[in-house]
Amino acid sequence: MTGGQAIRTARRYREMSQAELASLYGVCTRTVQRWEKDTVQLKWDTVKAVVEQVCDLKLGFVLLLEQQSNENN
């Protein structure tokens, strides 16, 4: 799983739009789109901050969600 995938999984779990996430984290929507498409390499500190502070989820939980999703597909 990439950092962008983790952010997308957390955002969708919280039923947030990219614009909402961007606004809450203080970046533009295009930045979130780039993260989620993995066109920008993210530091895991940034991924953890977005997932835990903005989406209010533990990064480990999000990684587990993504793993389960991949197993079901």
pLDDT tens track, the chain, 73 positions: 899 999 999 999 999 999 999 999 999 999 999 999 999 999 999 999 999 999 999 999 999 998 888 888 7
72, part of any domain: no
What's the pTM?
Answer: 0.92
Residue 45 lies inside a defined structural domain of this protein: yes
The domain of 13 spans 3-66
Please give the C-alpha separations between residue 34 and each of 4, 12, 13, 24, 49, in angstroms, as whole numbers: 8, 16, 19, 17, 17
Q: State the total domains in the chain.
A: 1
Q: Is 52 among the domain residues? A: yes
Q: Looking at the domain assignment, is residue 19 inside a domain?
A: yes
Please name the residue that has the structure tokens 């209010």.
Answer: 56
Of 30, 46, 39, which Cα lies nearest the Cα of 7? Answer: 46
- Identify whether the C-beta of residue 52 lies closer than 8 Å to the C-beta of residue 10: no
Asked, for residue 73, whether it belongs to a domain, the answer is no
Nearest to 65 by CA among 15, 12, 21: 12
CATH of the domain at 9: 1.10.260.40
